[in-house]
Amino acid sequence: MNFDIHALRQRGIALVTVGGWLVVLTIALMAMTHGEDALYAAFVSALLNMIPTWCMLKGRTDRYARMAVGVMAALQPSLMLYVMQGSLWQIDMHLYIFVALASLTLLWDVRPIIAACAIVLLHHALLSFLAPSWVFWGGGGFVRVTIHAIATLMIGSVLC
């Protein structure tokens, strides 16, 4: 059985990018209940999808294209977390971080997974001090960030 790595990566980039656009749509729909903030988030979400979409349309699968898709996949769930701030359901949005990380296995490269895990860790660590409500309902704190960081490192290790 032959595997064409280029074709597999092309399909992976296409699937993750389509997933990214579904996030844009979801956040835009959230604007109906969460107002203007969700529209801002949908705009940024669409912006993050531009370069992966270009890579998909051009059929690019080089390491830079794969890393660009990894950056997009890591940041999209953070926008969902932001939109759900102040809601009990915000914590549930963290599940989509794991979906995003797992989707990167479709790129057949560990680098986007490592980069995405690093971005998630950085996002949680920075915002838990700068704007805790954007990540955690009821505030962050060292223990809570550590629990999330360990889970991210563990899933990152498994996926690599």
Partner 1 sequence: MVLGNEQTFAKFAPAVLIGQVALGVIGMAAFMFAPRTDQPALLYPLTAQAAKALPAIISRPGSAIAARGQVAGSYIVLGERSGFAENLLSRGILTLNAAAPGCGPALSDQARGSNL
CB atoms within 10 A of CB 108: 16
Q: Is 130 in the site for partner 1 (CB under 8 A)?
A: yes
Task: Return the C-alpha torsion angle 93, 98, 102, 107, nearest 10.
Answer: 70
Q: Which of 8, 28, 31, 67 binds partner 1 (CB under 8 A)?
A: 67
Cα separation, 129 vs 9, whole angstroms: 37
Tokens of 79: 């926008």
Q: How far is the CB of 65 from partner 1 (least distance, A)?
A: 6
Q: Is 47 in the site for partner 1 (CB under 8 A)?
A: yes
Q: Which of 22, 110, 131, 147 binds partner 1 (CB under 8 A)?
A: 131
Q: Is 57 in the site for partner 1 (CB under 8 A)?
A: no
Restricting to residues 74-113, name those near partner 1 by CB under 8 A: 75, 78-79, 82
Cβ neighbours of residue 123 under 8 Å, at least 6 residues apart?
A: 74, 75, 78, 135
Q: Which residue has the tokens 């203007």?
A: 36
Residues engaged in binding partner 1 (CB under 8 A): 35-37, 40-41, 43-44, 47-48, 50-52, 54-55, 58, 60, 62-65, 67-68, 71-72, 75, 78-79, 82, 130-131
